[in-house]
Structure 1
Amino acid sequence: MNEETASPKYTNRLINEKSPYLLQHAHNPVDWLPWGEEAFAKAKAENKPVLVSVGYSTCHWCHVMEEESFNDEEVGEILNGNFVAIKVDREERPDIDALYMSVCQAMTGGGGWPLTVLLTPEKKPFYAGTYFPKRRMMGQVGLMEVLEQVKAKWETDSKKLQELGDQLLSELELSAANNRIDKDVELSEGLLHHAFQLYRTIFDDTNGGFGQAPKFPTPHNLSFLLAYSQKYNNAEALRMVEKTLESMYKGGIYDHIGFGFARYSTDEQWLVPHFEKMLFDNALLASAYVEAYQITQKPLYAEVAEGIFAYVLRELTSQEGGFYSAQDADSDGEEGAFYIFSTEEVEEALGPQEMKDYCSIYGITEEGISRGYSIPNLLEGTPDEMAEKLGITPLALRTRLEEWREKMFAYREQRVRPSIDDKVLTSWNSLMITALAKGAKALQKPEYAKAAEAAANFLWNRLRREDGRLLARYRDGEAAYPGYVDDYAFLMWGLTELYEATGQAVYLERALALKDGLLDLFQDEAEGGFFFTGKDAEQLPIRSKELYDGAMPSGNSVAVKVLWKLAAITQDVKLKGVAERTAALLGKAAMKYPASYAMFLQGVLVMTSGGTEWVLSGRQEDPALQEMISLAQRAFTPEASLLIHWEDPESKLAALLPHLKDKPAIGGKATAYICRDFACQEPITSLETVRELLVKQVEETENK
């Protein structure tokens, strides 16, 4: 029988799962089980330790460990005979991942994926690490060695391992207990200035970004600095952001052929990426580029944001409107194979004469970065800079570059494509909804609002139970897992941005409904803030709170920002108090190193500013009102909320926000109200006055 059509030699219980990552391991010789009580009951009944392996489908080193170890019959034999083996998709179960990653970091000082943890049948961890080769290699312990040692220790002194598990959990519980409000903490602008000084200290003046390789984009750092630069007229903060955004765009981390950003750069120049493309990275980056465009009006930033949107809408969008999670780093068994080019391949795509110019501009050489292959990049100069060297106009070069890009794209499409992780995650989708809504506003492109609406409606209709409980993951017709705090906070954020982009009150109504769920399911009324899991979710050994802003912002940080905004919009003093209590909790943690709390700092910036609400009232068809709305949407006003008040008796907004009846269109003319701390200035009916208030910073930058 042909090998390609032969039935798999092994099939385990993961074959019944929906997760692409778990399904990748369904034919390992390891008798994997999904996380659940059945697996731990088996471990208790058979008195075996538990190996938990956590990863995700587009993780390169997860693929390597599978190939080296989990596809190996010798590894399968020792695991099946002496352990209960559990596979976890960290993107479906970030609660499990967060708990045991904290164990790994406590035990080893580091973390990453694949995450490998050994537990007692009571879920208590006693050993943790990340990637292991099968056998010891270059001083790194091998998986077989670990398993053999644990097997022997479990047989002779399992009590000792139980005690170690108890000790580790006690330490984590003690750490979690410190996440409580400090009534002496007073949030002030000093925290913002301290953070700025830290960013300036670790800023890479040569290459942009912060710290050394590997370099992660961490776009919420940039969003904070943009807001900080505007509030304090700080040119240095803006310079750091622009240097970083331009350097990332020039580097190989940006896909100059198909658009979108890779996960991170392995070097300081942003040249050689880890090639996987994640939805949440691209969402947060699109937001940062849109915001930079709003401040500077530089076309490059709009161009990059639109490239990200084009990539996501082309590659990561389902027919139902939801967004897929990621695109793999590997294709045809090799990391980055889809994205790299030799000079010969460029010649095949473009012809000999065009090849020479293309390679000169995009840094493709005979030697390449590795084995004669290069990553297209613009580190030698932007198209405008290169046009001068080539003796042609920038417009002419840009026309040629687009023609070349289309040919290179078509050539690349003939290759084996990286796989797509097609599960839909509520939290990550919400970040892309936010980005698209921001793009729709800043660029005045309704097609982005339509895409955001399609995704928001998909989440609302397919990722909620009948009782309104939000769920975390959808794939292949199945929605599953009670939503986490990130799902609630991020979707509330996305819906408020979508309301501002469309004026459709239904999105604000949904955000307020989710607010009730957030408070009911996640709030720690005793110590402040929000737990990562709801009170109705599976209870792990520790119910933790995620506070700092890592690769993604924390749910608590986003909650501060969005709850403060909703409190201002609804004039809900109690909700304002919840936002302040959450901020007090995060403020205590942030004072140690505020640069790790960039999203939270954006909330602090608004809170210390008092916040502003723009209420624009009038008839929907009134051109003056539409112009006012356009001006408000285009302006960079991170401290402000926008309420679009159509004067319609059937308006849902009037029912949601009764106080708007006091803000009518004066004399039937489009009217703007500017409010702070529940007090409003005199209404404005002059379009020119609104223009002066909202657009002066835009016009100033346009004239520079």
Structure 2
Amino acid sequence: MNRLAGMTSPYLLQHADNPVDWWPWSPEAFEEARRRQVPVLLSVGYASCHWCHVMARESFEDEATARVMNAHFVSVKVDREERPDVDAVYMEAVQAATGQGGWPMTVFLTPDAEPFYFGTYFPPAPRHGMPSFRQVLEGVRTAWQERRDEVADVASRISADLAGRSIRLGAPQPPGAEEMGAALLGLTKDFDASRGGFGGAPKFPPSMVLEFLLRHHARTGSEGALQMVQATCEAMARGGIYDQLGGGFARYSVDAEWVVPHFEKMLYDNALLCRVYAHLWRSTGDERARRIALETADFMVRELGTQQGGFASALDADSDDGQGGHAEGAYYVWTRSQLTEVLGEDDAALAADCFRVTEEGTFERGASVLQLADRDRPLADADRLESVRRRLLEARAARPRPERDDKVVTAWNGLAVAALAETGAYFERPDLVEAATTAARLLAEVHTVEDGRRLLRTSRDGVPGTSAGVLEDYADVAEGYLTLYAVTGETDWLHRAGALLDTVLERFAGDDGTLYDTADDAERLIRRPQDPTDNAVPSGWNAAAGALLAYGAYTGEHRYRQAAEQALGVVRELAARAPRFLGWGLAVGEALLDGPREVAVVGEPEERAALHRTALLATAPGAVVATGAPGETSVPLLEGRGRVEGRPAAYVCRGFVCAAPVTEPDELERALGD
């Protein structure tokens, strides 16, 4: 066992018995490199990464390769999900140098942590124009020993370039209707009208863009925006990217038709998509959207829930293929003969037709990824098809399961809290609201330190990790707490969100309104990471803007709204040029343009329930909902609000102007629909 044996990250533990003498990211590793006068080999990945597993089997488990690594390098292994700051800084260098990025990421550093050679996956033998990993090791070793001054100069120039990259907004102004229209136009041009989604292969679920489009439709009535959401959500729900048996979404589709997924299932994708489908149902009443939202919520609770009440990070793409090896998708794909073995001839024929299982296969080795084929299957087949689905799910459960990365990531659990709280409230599933509450308690009790003001990035088995929280952790947990407060009326969640957002303003904000991904007292890297663009999850920058805007509406304190408006300045600048990478920022911009609307519902819990539900189901972008008993003083939005003529009441304010209170749900619905 090497130095990774004592780590909590499942990804690092996967490498604990490698013959490579791995170090975790630490000052001691770089001190060892200085002592030995050798470069640092930085390898970054994550536990459910398919090609990370491949490179590990081919190179890191190979004794001969390990001897070269141990003799000439200090090798450092990083879990990108545990240290997103380290990943972000060096991924920026990889992308600048090579024009592409991804994981596994392989970077060679000086003992001062300055990068000088970059790559991602390297094969064990030269192929497809790529050198072998051993060739790369030899080339770097030779350069370091024979041309060290040249290497040091390159590393210094790269580090200086990275350090000089920072975002300056001047006099930032939030986006207006013109910028929202330009973003919609850009998205329309990129929209794949025949297959849903945006762009070509590979195709990622555009969760944050869909959220923007739903809010834009709600504010403007744009049918084009809604149609893009409906077409994309239907295509994903019918495609192989969605698990037609057990629910839940895979990370992305390798093709443009959503047929063949990269089979790993991430918590963040499922939390974001659960919320999108729930919001689509809220806007349209679409029963398919309702089903997908609930199945995805149930998937998260069933497959990713931990004993401590949090949610694990991911399920692997690979699993035992039943023949002594590991293969991507082995748990999920089916052949015609496997269908017949489980179902018999007649039902196997139905399943093959319904789920597009062909003789030649849609995946590999004659196997097919299950898709829902028929748009309008007669209702008479519904019960039979449900029986088929249940039997296939039971048979699949007997297969070797994919491994689970069971570390609890703070930000992603914040996203799950928001999704489960809303889905539970919309569809009257108190068990989902309770799951959200339990996860929030874990975040509050295990991931939170310093009197509720600071966060840690991860925990595992109830034991907190050592990495400091980054901006997305604070922002997404605040978003989760605010959503949970809106659903439950428990004021502790509102106050906890406020404490985290105070830390954002004190530790993560620059003087000009920009935001940084790490706190001002975090570990110093060669660059303080800063990125306002959304990727697989909302950027910490945009997520913080959303939480600050909502909290400002709850409290009436201008400094939170002002910070949100300043942060949204980058959305104004980039909306027309890069709308696909600003979905969450655009969604927050829609909330700002709509007010946001402040809704206070007052009464005892049972008597105010109908008004409260009406408020939660409102599609007004970014509406914030406060609920409590008459005389509540701990929530500014509720202060001074009481019953009207002895009846529970709802108060709606917008743009610093309040309408007359209403006492009937239909009156509230009209007030929120204007």
Are 1:627 and 2:619 an aligned pair? Answer: no
Q: Give CA-to-partner distance per residue, 1:506-547, whole Å, 9 cap, x none.
A: 1111111111122222111x2322211112221111112121
Q: Secondary structure at the match of 1:175?
A: coil
Structure 2: gaps of 5 or more residues: 321-325
Q: Distance in 1 between matches of 2:458 and 2:250?
A: 23
Offset of residue 567 of structure 1: 0.8
**Who is 2:639 aligned against?**
661
**Alpha-carbon distance in 2 for matches of 1:550, 1:304:** 23
- 2:553 equivalent among 568, 572, 596: 568
The equivalences for 1:184-223 within 5 A come to: 185=173, 187-223=175-211
* Distance (Å, rounded) in 2 between the aligned partners of 1:687 and 1:271: 43
Give, as a single letter, the amino acid of the residue that structure 2 aligns with 1:386: R
Residue in 2 aligned with 1:357? Answer: 350
Give 1:701's aligned residue. Answer: none
Q: How many residues align?
A: 666
Amino acid aligned to 2:371: N
1:132 and 2:117 matched: no
- Partner of residue 370, structure 2: 376
- Does 2:470 correspond to 1:484? yes
Residue 323 of structure 2: aligned partner: none
Structure 2 vs 1, CA of residues 113 and 655 (structure 1 numbering), >3 Å: closer, same or farther?
same
Residue in 2 that maps onto 1:343? 336
Contact persistence 2:597–2:624 (CA under 8 A): yes
Using a 3 Å threshold, how does the CA distance of structure 1 residues 186 and 586 change in structure 2: closer, same or farther?
closer
Between the aligned partners of 2:253 and 2:172, the Cα distance in structure 1 is 41
The Cα of 1:636 is off from its aligned counterpart by 1.9
Q: 1:610 Cα shift?
A: 2.4
2:308–2:461 contact (8 Å) kept in structure 1: no
Identify which of 674, 678, 683 aligns with 2:661: 683
Amino acid at match of 2:332: Y
Aligned-partner residue type, residue 470 of structure 2? Y
2: CA distance, partners of 1:488 / 1:477? 19
* TM-superposed deviation, 1:621: 3.1
Q: Partners in 1 of 2:328 and 2:286 — Cα distance?
A: 34
CA drift of 1:676 comes to 1.6
- The residue aligned with 1:99 is 89
Using the size of structure 2 for normalisation, the TM-score is 0.96
Residue 453 of structure 1: which of 419, 426, 437 is its match? 437
In 2, the alpha carbon distance for the partners of 1:477 and 1:612 equals 38
Using the alignment, how far apart are the partners of 2:445 and 2:135 within structure 1? Answer: 49
1:243-296 Cα offsets, whole Å, 9 max, x none, are 100001111111111110111001111000000000000011111101110111
CA distance in 2, matches of 1:467, 1:125: 38
AA aligned opposite 1:408: L
Contact 1:62 1:114 in 2 (8 A): yes
Please state how far the C-alpha of 1:375 moved relative to its aligned partner.
1.1
Determine if contact 1:191/1:594 at 8 Å carries over to the other structure.
no
Q: 2:595 aligns with which of 575, 593, 610?
A: 610
**What stretches of structure 1 of length at least 5 have no aligned partner?**
1-10, 388-393, 698-704
Query: What amino acid is aligned across from residue 280 of structure 1 in structure 2?
Result: Y
Distance 2:366 2:578 in 1: 43
Tell me the residue number matched to 2:447: 463
Q: Give the TM-score normalised by structure 1.
A: 0.92
Question: Hey, what's the Cα distance between the residues in 1 that align with 2:354 and 2:108?
Answer: 50
Matched, 1:238 2:217: no
Deviation at 1:368, TM superposition (A): 1.1
Question: Who is 1:645 aligned against?
Answer: 628
Deviation per CA, 1:403-446: give whole Å up to 9, x if none: 11111111111111000000000000011111112212322322
Secondary structure of the 2:118 match is: strand
- Give me the whole-angstrom Cα distance separating, in 2, the residues matched to 1:660 and 1:478: 38
Distance 2:65 2:627 in 1: 61
Give the Å deviation of 1:685.
2.6
Other structure's SS at 2:393 match:
helix
| Alignment-derived partner of residue 386 in structure 1 | 377
Contact 2:630 2:641 in 1 (8 A): no
Q: Are the equivalent residues in 1 in contact too, given 2:114–2:526 (CA < 8 A)?
A: yes
Match of 1:30 in 2: 20
Mapping of residues 264-275 of structure 1, within 5 Å: 264-275=252-263
Indicate the SS of the match to 1:408. Answer: helix
> Taking CA–CA contacts closer than 8 Å with sequence separation of 6 or more, which of the two structures ends up with the larger relative contact order?
2
Runs of 4+ deviating beyond 6 Å = none
Structure 1 position 80 matched with structure 2 position 70: yes
Matched, 1:404 2:404: no
| Cα distance change on mapping 1:27 and 1:339 into 2, 3 Å | same
Coordinate RMSD, CA, aligned: 1.5
Distance, in Å, in 2 between the alignment partners of 1:185 and 1:568 is 19
Pairing 1:423-462 to 2, within 5 Å after superposition:
423-462=407-446
Deviates more, 1:605-614 or 1:92-101: 605-614
* Alpha-carbon distance in structure 2 between the residues aligned to 1:493 and 1:27: 39
1:578 aligned onto 2:566: no
Structure 1 residue 138: Cα displacement: 2.4
SS in 2 for 1:662: coil
1:634 Cα offset (Å): 2.1
Select 2:109's aligned residue among 103, 107, 119: 119
Does the residue aligned with 1:675 lie in a helix, a strand or coil?
strand
State which drifts further: 487-496 or 433-442.
Answer: 433-442
SS in 2 for 1:655: coil
Deviation at 1:14, TM superposition (A): 0.9
Alpha-carbon spacing, 1:67–1:454, altered in 2? closer, same or farther (3 Å): same
1:667 aligned counterpart, secondary structure: coil
Q: Return the offset for 1:561.
A: 1.2
Shift of 1:590: 4.2
Alpha-carbon distance in structure 2 between the residues aligned to 1:477 and 1:282: 22
Larger mean CA deviation between 609-618 and 27-36 belongs to 609-618
Q: CA deviation at 1:156?
A: 1.1
Q: 1:185 to 1:499 in 2, by over 3 A?
A: closer
> Which deviations, in whole Å up to 9, do the C-alpha atoms of 1:657-704 show, x marking residues without a partner?
2x633221123211111112333112223444224435x79xxxxxxx
- Contact 1:12–1:28 (CA<8 Å) still a contact in 2? yes
Deviation of the 1:161 alpha carbon: 1.2
SS at match of 2:377: helix
One-letter amino acid of the counterpart of residue 479, structure 2: W
Q: Is the 8 A contact 2:186 2:577 kept in 1?
A: no
Q: What is the alpha-carbon distance in structure 2 between the residues aligned to residue 612 and residue 591 of structure 1?
A: 26
> What is the Cα deviation at residue 73 of structure 1?
1.3
Please state how far the C-alpha of 1:568 moved relative to its aligned partner: 1.5
Matched, 1:531 2:509: no
Cα distance in 1 for residues equivalent to 2:456 and 2:648: 41
Q: Residue 663 and residue 407 in structure 1: after superposition, are their counterparts in 2 closer, same or farther (change >3 A)?
A: same
Q: How far did residue 589 of structure 1 move?
A: 4.3
| Residue 518 (str. 1) matches residue 496 (str. 2) | no
CA distance in 2, matches of 1:19, 1:240: 39
